[in-house]
Amino acid sequence: MKLWFINKDKVSVTFTGKTDFNQHVDNCITKCRNSSYFLSNIGMCYLGVMSDTKSYLFYSICQPTLLYGLDAVNININMVKKIENMQGSIMKRVCGIPNHSH
């Protein structure tokens, strides 16, 4: 049961009948992944692009999409780990590092 949802295509906060916000975190992760794949088409993952440019694109587009609405909801440690894993996988892909390396 959804209490409030704006538009699936736009950034929004998802409230469900439960007290957890797993669905909202999953939506933010999906939208961040989609925006990072879009940025890879314009050169974000190209190794010849300067690191400053890549970090600017990440911090101006991907990270705000990932963190949208999280300051207004209660998230647990598992949700924080999901968010950190998403950030790490995007940054590894941008830097050309294999996803399973530490």
Q: What is the CA radius of gyration of the chain?
A: 15
Q: How many CB atoms lie within 10 A of CB 73?
A: 15
Cα gap 72→49, rounded to integer Å: 35
What pTM was computed for the model?
0.71
The answer to whether 38 touches 58, Cβ cutoff 8 Å, is no
pLDDT average per 10 residues of sequence, the chain (102 residues): 42 59 85 86 79 85 85 85 90 78 64
Cα gap 56→63, rounded to integer Å: 10
Q: Is 20 helix (H, G, I), strand (E, B) or coil?
A: coil
